[in-house]
Amino acid sequence: MAKYRIAWMPGDGVGNDVMEAARIVLDALKFDAEYIPADIGWEFWCKEGDPLPERTIKTLKETDCALFGAITSKPRDEANDELDPSLKGKGLSYFSPIVKLRQMFNLHTNMRPCKAYPGNPLNYRDDIDQVVFRENTEGSYGGVEFFPLPEEVYTALCLNPKMKPWKDKGLDNIALSTRIMSKQGCESICRQALDYAKNNGRKRVTLVEKPNVLRETGGLITRVFRELSKGYGDLWTDEANIDAICMWMFKNPQDYDVLVAENMFGDIISDLCAGLVGGLGFASAANIGDKYAVFEPTHGSAPKYDGKYVVNPMAMLLTAKLMFDWLGEDDLATRLEGAIADVIKEGKVATYDVRGVKAGQPGANTTLEVAEEVARKVK
């Protein structure tokens, strides 16, 4: 019997390609696991009206953790247009399955390392080593939205007099997306970032917010961060506005270490950080809860490249490394990261983004060739 049961969710588009690449490396490492297929993504929305079927939720509950490839998400009207005709008119509404999964399993912490590996020609600098902690279940991605704006919601919002002018525009012309944050959620993500820094020899933790404008939600997480920071006297803790950090990260990215933010701001700055270390082809992520975790690269599904095996699998392989860390498989994590670093440093085998050529053109290696090279380097 295998030591681990891993839910295997390729998802959409190039998620299938990079998951196939990951399996090559996992097998080379002789990872003692059973991989349990689980359906998720756009195909199941179109055919079944549910991108996260109940059978998949059941599988997740019966496994130790999950590896996930990529997801396709589209706006409401496009999602409805692509539904199977037999499902149209039944009141179905698309909601991102990965967001639903994060909320359902309370995967409160999204951890996104961004590290510049020596030899990567796409590095902005070679001394960048940052980790973003993004609150994963609340904030701007909580999913509490309205269009058109119901009268009762408008009336409730008019407790704040600044809301009243919108009625003149017609409630059927108003869309509302909320940013709801709890003290518990703020405390959780701030503590995760501070504990990680303390336990991993990190020196600085920076809260990324905008409390001068988003006074209530931004003010809440800022107050929480400041109070919690008092218990971590050896750490340098500071704060930066979301707009300012986008400048400072390009001017002096080497100065930043651990960054913590609410859901949307964390999403934004993690892509910025990824751009400093080679792009989304090198960006991994862990969605971590108290009892379960889902690991995914941060890139999208890139449907136009589906099945062409041209995209960079390094993000997916680094994602597997995060899984090993979470499982306590330190030797596997070290061996995998070492092999990845060796391949990047040698530069002999690389996908089109690293080579600086167009996808599918001569001069670049395929997704699977890169994975096979990493597998050969595993010691």
Residue 186 has pLDDT above 90, yes or no: yes
Beta-bridge mates of residue 294: 66, 287
Contact 175, 77 (CB under 8 A): no
Architecture of domain 124-142+179-276: 3-Layer(aba) Sandwich (3.40)
Q: How far apart, in whole angstroms, are the C-alpha atoms of residue 221 and residue 291?
A: 24
Contact 224, 192 (CB under 8 A): no
User: What is the average pLDDT score of the chain?
Assistant: 96
Contact 261, 132 (CB under 8 A): yes
Q: Which residues touch 186 (CB under 8 Å, ≥6 apart)?
A: 135, 220, 221, 224, 225, 262
Output the pLDDT for position 98.
92
Q: Which residue pairs from 59-63 have beta carbons closer than 8 angstroms and sit at least 24 positions apart in sequence?
A: 59/7, 60/7, 60/101, 60/105, 60/292, 60/294, 62/5, 62/36, 63/5, 63/6, 63/7, 63/36
Lowest mean pLDDT among 301-305, 336-340, 359-363: 359-363
By CB atoms closer than 10 A (0-12, 13-18, 19+), residue 77 is: exposed
Q: What percent of the chain has pLDDT over 90?
A: 93
pLDDT tier at 207 (50, 70, 90 boundaries)?
very high
The neighbour count for residue 341, using CB atoms within 10 Å, is: 17
Q: What is the mean pLDDT of residues 332-337?
A: 98
Question: Minimal CA–CA distance to 124: which of 278, 237, 21, 246?
Answer: 278
Output the pLDDT for position 30.
97
Residue 361, Cα to own-chain centre: how many angstroms? Answer: 29
Domain ranges of the chain: 1-108+283-379, 124-142+179-276, 144-177
Residue 1 has pLDDT above 90, yes or no: no
Q: What percent of the chain has pLDDT over 70?
A: 100
Contact 303, 72 (CB under 8 A): yes
Residue type at 231? G
Q: What is the mean pLDDT of residues 289-303?
A: 96
What is the DSSP secondary structure assignment for residue 305, as one 8-state letter? G
Task: Tell which CATH classification among 2.40.33.20, 3.40.50.1000, 3.40.718.10, 2.60.40.1080 matches the domain 1-108+283-379.
Answer: 3.40.718.10
pLDDT tier at 108 (50, 70, 90 boundaries)?
very high
pLDDT tier at 110 (50, 70, 90 boundaries)?
very high
pLDDT tier at 147 (50, 70, 90 boundaries)?
very high
For every residue of 85-115, DSSP letters joined together read GGGTTS------HHHHHHHHTT--EEEEEEE
Output the pLDDT for position 236.
97
Q: What is the mean pLDDT of residues 233-240?
A: 96
Output the pLDDT for position 268.
96
Output the pLDDT for position 76.
85
Tens of pLDDT, residues 44-93: 999 999 999 999 999 999 999 999 999 999 888 899 999 999 999 899 99
Domains 1-108+283-379 and 124-142+179-276 share a fold: no
Output the six-digit token pair for 56.
Answer: 């998949």
pLDDT tier at 361 (50, 70, 90 boundaries)?
confident
Q: How far apart, in whole angstroms, are the C-alpha atoms of residue 214 and residue 220?
A: 10
